[in-house]
Structure 1
Amino acid sequence: MSAAEWVGAWSEKRAALSPERVGLVDAATGTEYTYADLDRRANRCARLLADHGVTADPDDESAETAGRVAVVSRNRPEYVDLFFATGKTGGVLAPLSHRLAPRELAELFATVDPHLVVVEEAFAGLVDDAADEDTWSADAPVLSLPVGAAEGGKEDGSASGATTWEPYEAALPDDGSTFDGPAVDADDPHLFLHTGGSTGTPKETVVSHEALVWNSLNTITAWGLRDDDVTPMVFPMFHTGGWNVLTLPIFHMGGTVVVDREFDPGQILGVVDERSATVLVAVPAVLRMMTDHDRWTETDLSSLRFVKSGGGPCRESVMEAWWDRGVDLSQGYGLTECGPNNFAMPDDWPREKAHTVGVANVHVDARVVDDDGQSLPADEIGELQLRSPHAADGYWSSPEESAETFGEWVSTGDLARVDDEGYVSIEGRKKNMFVSGGENVYPAEVEDAIVDHPAVADAVVVPVPDDQWGQVGKAVVELRDGGGELPLDGLREFLDGRLARFKHPRHLAFVDELPTSGPDKIDREAVAAEFGE
């Protein structure tokens, strides 16, 4: 056993317990990796990282000195190697989104200040453009990950126009024996996960070894994960969903995670059918697209023990489509700064609670507070605050922002209410609430009512100026195929009796498709920029 504990010992201990069990499947190549394979790969990778200084400093216990590796890639096995390997070396893994613009990516590179960079060749041009920005010195060595022909690359594994860097595989040492790494403390950082960046440059959230383990334990105990669970990982690994929602809890239990460079709804249905997937977590848009896919009716969903929706409110029509197929679908809630798996549905929960995210997990405390930080009684709306050992430590190099969000409680910035049975309902972002004629309007509530209309696929409500009421709502609507026309008067007539009239949108706009950001979440900021104030 190496000296490293916490995440550093994870792959080694799992390999000792279940060496021949398949832990990871690369759907792009069809390759299966046992837990023994994953630990050997992690040991080779750890030696590579140590050679590049991506390790804890044995002479300095400060987290500031931990070496960092930045990664720009889609989901692939090397990401898992780097996760376990940084755990062994005491280094930090900083996944960066390949969906960012070059300047945004350069700013994150400058914040992370990596000792090593690993780039999938498909994004070589993006990283080159980021290196041309004046915010990042780009002096760290870079290793490349190939793109196979089946993944849009050339037969030799390169991508068109890719920069020539040393291949990651060629740089790996051959020695896959146990890596004798430094001792790692529970509160040492292991992941830098950047936020969505709705305002300005995304912030890097510092997630410790302890927080990763506690989130995994919270998920296992509250959701009832098993060692025979199989899941397709549809969240990107630059996002907390890619690691903390299911990947790490499944690894903790010894189950199987299926990854691919990209997953479309038809592929996910294929994995569920062909691999007898038992659990699935995805954003509402993906769950809706799965129900609309040609494979939906022919896919055997009977292996799914449960499905959870996260990343935004799931419309009741989508939930009913899954329920009609006998699948237990419920909503979850989380954020990069805490968890993200904070709530669960109790056993035999009633369908009338489907609009909620359930009750707090075993090692999570939740409360709703007013603007003065005072707890509110049941059914009153205020800001949701969370407390748990799986909370992150703060934002990297951002003391003021950290002080605003982190403390004894994590301030989520989300509005919520708790009913008298402890079920929590998310009412939208605090910053999205607007005041119309002196009344508070919560867009999420209005959107839920609008999407009940049979012609509506999805909707976002943003405030716009009004001479009489100060602000009123404008509904930006994506219609269903064949949904026909939806005049404003018709929509307001539909909402009568469902919403107070001051909540009714006074303006209406249509889009072919609502814009998305991150892991297919609706980009409210983009909608507001185009259609709002």
Structure 2
Amino acid sequence: MDESLNLGRIIDRHADRDAIALVGLDLDGHATEHSFGEIDTRADALARGLLARGLVPGERVALLGVNSVAYVVSLLGIVRAGLVAVPVNFKLPPAIVEYILGDSGARLVLCDDARAAQVPAALPHILFGSPEFAALPQPGPFEAFEPDARDLALILYTSGSTGRPKGVLLSHASHRWVVRTRQAATPLADERVLIAAPLYHMNALALILLTLASHAPAVLLPQFQAAAYIRAIARYRCTWLTAVPPMIAMMLRERELLAQTDLGSVRVVRMGSAPVSPSLLEQIHKLLPNARVINAFGTTEGGPVVFGPHPEGLPTPTQAVGAAHPAVQMRLIDERGQPADEGVLELKSPGLMLGYHQRPELSPLTSDGFYVTGDVFRRDAQGFYTFVGRRDDMFVSGGENLYPGEIEKALERHPAVQQASVVPVPDDIKGTKPVAFVVPRPGHVVPSEEDLKAFSLTQLAAYEHPRRIWFVDALPLAATQKIDRRALTEDALQRLAGAHH
């Protein structure tokens, strides 16, 4: 096989070029089908066209838009040309989008109509679906740029909880390793994958590259919308989903639609960004009776290949993310800087980033080359790892370290709790104390605040239990689709201030 080292050339040219690679759906259910041959040919033509515009390898081209087939083709074409793709999170505030476009040094933006207004006037942009976009590709054979070990394919910006987003530099080599390693572990050839998570995130981006490399069909939604997602599963008999807990919660609200829809085709749900609580697991099994749930973990900086099945074939405990992947070195470091069975995960693998763009002062790598994730894990006697919480989310209350994730898990063990989020608020005596926001589970009697507090004391140390619990319809999501803890903290402070007047 004439394998190129270019990340954009992962479609196997010897496999069936007429097989369907992508079904592009809009939220109303209009579909277009695209073969592997068509995607491959279009990506080559786009690569030629970008270079014909005078762009030179190493220069950046930004992508700004919802998921679409044009977005995927553009991503492959940019990377094949030796240019660097910068997928931008369009949900960020306009000033931050402008900062990312400027910081990355983007020379051109490919965007959809709804996002065009976010592009600064001085920066050239081309709209997907416009006559200019149709005229951009130059058909004909194309030899992909052959990268060296450190040549960049992608810059992904991580919206840190504080400060400006950081551009994560990802090489062709690191990401091809990710794709090939996952391909070996996850045979997708017989699966139909549904993608609704945004392609500007590592989760969906790594998945679309994996499906293309695996010659597996993917169904692509512009963004997650519960009813459209449920209909897409049924219509295309999708077998493989990737989800975050809020998506499942939103699907469960579509009761009428679920009652008349068969979701029995789903065999795998890969859950990212937060571990699955026992109550959520029970609901996933009700929703998707034939699916097994995999708790996934990955970071933009360290890639999605971190954990895997146990080397001796032991079953992974429900809450665990797996055992150490054989190709990844890892260690847990406690607060004293010592190796321990509970601590911050540090890892080293061929999937690591090269560093942060123009931020030499930020060194997330240790002197011996391990990436410090900032995520706290616990390792059991069998070698299984369980996520405890973000070191950044940890707060100290009366001298005790509290991890919101541990308290949330305990609250979610209550049958009437769908989802919980815990944040710290100031306390005169303890410095800070935990309070909780809880989304009640449909069809259950909502417990009183006192009852739920009493329940939490049966599950937690006394110092961990939430001092106030408020019931809400939904938890606010940040642009990353994770729970917006800052918004919850502000909400908590307002409620507490209101209570004092």
Which has the higher mean CA deviation after the structures are superposed, 90-99 or 78-87? Answer: 78-87
Deviation at 1:461, TM superposition (A): 0.9
Write the letter of the residue equivalent to 1:184.
Answer: P
Contact 1:229 1:250 in 2 (8 A): no
Structure 1 distance, partners of 2:393, 2:292, is 30
Post-superposition offset of 1:336: 0.8
1:387 counterpart (348, 356, 361): 348
Aligned-pair CA distance for 1:50: 0.7
CA distance in 2, matches of 1:394, 1:206: 6
Q: Give the total of aligned pairs.
A: 487
Say whether residues 1:141 and 2:154 are aligned partners: no
Q: 1:225 to 1:169 in 2, by over 3 A?
A: same
Assess if the C-alpha contact under 8 Å between 2:449 and 2:470 holds in 1: no
Distance 2:229 2:309 in 1: 24
The CA deviation at 1:238 is 1.0
CA distance in 2, matches of 1:303, 1:3: 34
Identity of aligned residues (%): 32
Residue 355 of structure 1 pairs with residue 353 of structure 2? no
Structure 1 residue 189: deviation in Å? Answer: 0.7
Q: What pairs up with 1:86-101 in 2 under 5 angstroms?
A: 86-101=78-93
Q: Deviations over 1:65-124 (max 9, x none)?
A: x11101111001111112221222111000111111111111111111111111211112
Deviations 1:369-394 (A, max 9, x none): 12354311x3xx21111211111111
Name the amino acid aligned to 1:169: A
Partner residue, 2:357: 396
Q: Structure 2 vs 1, CA of residues 532 and 387 (structure 1 numbering), >3 Å: closer, same or farther?
A: farther
Amino acid of the structure 1 residue aligned with 2:304: P
Correspondence list, 1:338-353, <5 A? 338-346=302-310, 350=315, 353=317
Change (3 A) 1:399 1:406: farther
Moved more, 327-336 or 314-323: 314-323
Aligned partners of 2:290 and 2:146: how far apart in 1?
Answer: 48
Kindly indicate whether the alpha-carbon contact (under 8 Å) linking 1:221 and 1:362 is maintained by their aligned counterparts in 2.
no
Seen in structure 2, the aligned counterparts of structure 1 residues 407 and 199 have a Cα distance that, compared at 3 Å, is farther
Q: Does 1:17 align with 2:15?
A: yes
Structure 1 counterpart of 2:169, from 195, 203, 206: 206
- 1:519 CA drift (Å): 4.7
Aligned to 1:152: none
- 1:481, distance to aligned residue in structure 2 (A): 4.1
Deviation at 1:485, TM superposition (A): 4.9
Letter of the aligned partner of 1:343 in structure 2?
A: F
Contact 1:284 1:309 in 2 (8 A): yes
Partner Cα separation in structure 2 for residue 141 and residue 2 of structure 1: 36
Q: Which has the larger displacement, 181-190 or 19-28?
A: 181-190
Q: How far apart are residue 22 of structure 1 and its match?
A: 1.2
Q: Judge conservation of contact 2:9–2:144 (CA < 8 Å) in 1.
A: no
> 1:310-459 counterparts in 2 under 5 A?
310-324=272-286, 325-346=289-310, 350=315, 353-376=317-340, 378=341, 381-403=342-364, 408-459=369-420
Residue 472 to residue 25, structure 1, CA distance change in 2 (3 Å): same
Q: Which residue matches 1:266? A: 227
- How far apart, in 1, do the equivalents of 2:355 and 2:315 lie? 37
CA–CA distance in structure 2, aligned partners of residues 55 and 406 of structure 1: 34
Q: Distance in 2 between matches of 1:469 and 1:489?
A: 21
Give the partner amino acid of 1:190: A
1:524, 1:340 → 2: CA distance?
24
How many Å separate the matches in 1 of 2:72 and 2:473? 37
Taking the aligned partners of 1:497 and 1:54, their CA distance within structure 2 comes to 63
Q: In structure 2, how many angstroms separate the alpha carbons of the residues matched to 1:79 and 1:263?
A: 16
Q: CA-atom RMSD, angstroms?
A: 2.4
Query: Post-superposition shift, 1:299?
Result: 3.6
Secondary structure at the residue paired with 2:352?
Answer: coil
1:488 aligns with 2:486: no
Say whether residues 1:197 and 2:137 are aligned partners. no
Match of 1:184 in 2: 147
Q: Partner letter of residue 19 of structure 2?
A: R
CA distance in 2, matches of 1:310, 1:349: 22
Give SS of 2:73's match: helix
Instruction: Please give the TM-score of this superposition, normalised by the length of structure 2.
Output: 0.91
Deviates more, 1:70-79 or 1:492-501: 492-501
Please tell me the residue identity of whatever aligns with 1:283: V
Unaligned segments of structure 1, at least 5 residues: 57-65, 132-137, 147-156, 158-165
CA-to-partner distance for each residue in 1:205-235, whole Å, 9 max, x for gaps? 111111111111232233x223222111121
- Distance (Å, rounded) in 2 between the aligned partners of 1:124 and 1:88: 25
